[in-house]
Amino acid sequence: MLQRQKGVWRIKDNSSVWKDLLRLKAPAKALNLVWRALANCLPIMTQLQTKHVPVQVWCPVCNEEPETIPHNLVTCTFASQCWMVLRSDNLWVQNMEFRSWMSAILSSGTDKQRAESVMLCWVVWRARNDLVWNKKFSTVNKVVASAKKNLTQWILAQSISSHTLLQPHAKGDGSMFWVKPQPNTVKVSVDAAIFEDRE
């Protein structure tokens, strides 16, 4: 509401990017990061300085330019190398806004490529934070591999959880269920395994 009153809410300009982002099948942490970047509320150096936090505005990763959202996630030397490894069509044009770029990314490629792009934003941000807070450096290949691995594991976890909920457990498959004890009895649960072939 405040954004509408101040005249910075451009619902017609960015409604499609929000819808495309919300339709994407990707981890919530990655979607949240991109949502925050689109809303211009990531705690990057230039943003912190506008809030009167005494910080240097230079990118902590490359030290070549002031750290802005598009610089951090797309045009920083490190980030752009990650994008070249993941997607050679990163579609970045000089002086482009992050919102326009993300809209182009979310409207091109396959579902998997779009999800990997969102994951890469999250992993690039995590690598930046590891450097800032823990002094841990990462490589381009590790960042891209981490983005792909995180997405693959998330997709697998989603398919396993929905698959196992639909299938009943078969007798003898090792699945045990808790059963309410009979009245006036004591039930003791033990987590152990006994193998007949071992002594």
pLDDT in tens, 145-192: 999 999 999 999 888 755 555 555 555 555 556 678 888 888 887 776
What pLDDT, in 10s, does the model give residues 62-95? 999 999 999 999 999 999 999 999 987 777 887 8
pLDDT of residue 134 exceeding 90: yes
Mean pLDDT value of segment 130-141: 95
Burial class for 83, CB neighbours closer than 10 Å (0-12, 13-18, 19+): buried
Torsion sign (Cα): 171, 175, 178, 181: positive
Mean pLDDT value of segment 2-31: 73
Q: What CA–CA distance (Å, rounded) separates 171 from 100?
A: 55
pLDDT tier, 15 (very low <50, low <70, confident <90, very high otherwise)? low
Q: What is the pTM of this model?
A: 0.74
- Length of the chain (residues): 199
Q: What are the residue boundaries of the structural domains of the chain, listed by start?
A: 25-153
Share the mean pLDDT of the chain: 84
Q: What CA–CA distance (Å, rounded) separates 64 from 82?
A: 17
Helices 111-134, 77-86: crossing angle, 10 deg rounding: 150
